[in-house]
Amino acid sequence: MNFRPNGIIPALITPLTKNEKLNEKALRKLLNFVIDNGVHAVFVAGTTGEFYGLTHEEKRELMEITVDEVKGRVPVYAGTGAITTKECIEITKIATECKVDAASVLTPMFISPSQKEIYDHYKAIADSTSLPILLYNNHPKTGVTINAATVAKLADIDNIVGVKDSTGDMTLTGEYIRLTQGKNFSVLMGRDTLIHSGLCYGASGAIAACANIAPKICANIYDKYVAGDIKGSLEAQYAIAPLRVAFTLGSFPTVIKEALELLGINAGPCMQPIGHMTVEEKEQLIKILTQMNILK
């Protein structure tokens, strides 16, 4: 399969109304904001997009609106992860019907599958669709890790085209890269603070939550690197670090949503039980965004 994930791909929040319904107008505005600021693809219904609180029909609506608004300007990725293989296949079918360009499948959560079971899980999903499949490893959130040897084996399946690694473990990420050399397979960083280091090691880009708020800075990390401006890429990486560290000011992903509100994008609330930032936390966020020249 020729599809090759690369570049900076924002893991988009899902804009919601006060009643926790999809805010279509805000979603379309967010999509244009990140595309106009140089991202290389968009990714909806992922962890940052609160996929765990969306029904299948809400995911369908989210994907349909995204594909309609993007209009082929950049590839559209959609999260189709779930606990069971059966449900992953069902959501991937919806993604196919919505004509997204690729599906990202998070490892199962709550349960603890073996490496063979993880392999069988992803193979069954890949066999069920013609879509390119991106593996998604996020041990801090799921308690499950795809070992490097398992990733290398899965990379031999034609439409499994890459992996996003959000562990922050560069040794593991490096093994993903080393063991898939020579294959049509991409390794994408899932930690925004490690995009530059991943590129230096051989990663193909990143799926970055910070790119919701600072898409241009994130895009610069990649664009400057591939243009040979290694120093400029590193400077952009340094520039994004305070924003990523600021995510700890509130429960995920409320900091991203409240930052977008400050920028004029009606991101709305997070799904309960996640609430708003405190006044003190928001003051700190405003200070960081102002120092970064994101908020004028």
CA gap 230, 187 in Å, rounded:
19
3-state secondary structure the chain: CCCCCCEEEEECCCCECCCCCECHHHHHHHHHHHHHCCCCCEEECCCCCCHHHCCHHHHHHHHHHHHHHHCCCCCEEEECCCCCHHHHHHHHHHHHHCCCCEEEEECCCCCCCCHHHHHHHHHHHHHCCCCCEEEEECHHHHCCCCCHHHHHHHCCCCCEEEEEECCCCHHHHHHHHHHCCCCCCEEEECCHHHHHHHHHHCCCEEEEHHHHCCHHHHHHHHHHHHCCCHHHHHHHHHHHHHHHHHHHHCCCCHHHHHHHHHCCCCCCCCCCCCCCCCHHHHHHHHHHHHHCCCCC
Q: Which of 59, 77, 119, 164 is catalytic?
A: 164
Residue 99: active-site member: no
CA gap 274, 13 in Å, rounded:
14
CA gap 91, 112 in Å, rounded:
21
Q: Which of 136, 176, 222, 225 is catalytic?
A: 136
Binding-site entries for pyruvate: 48, 207
Binding-site entries: 48, 207
Residue 136: active-site member: yes
Q: Residues with catalytic annotation?
A: 136, 164
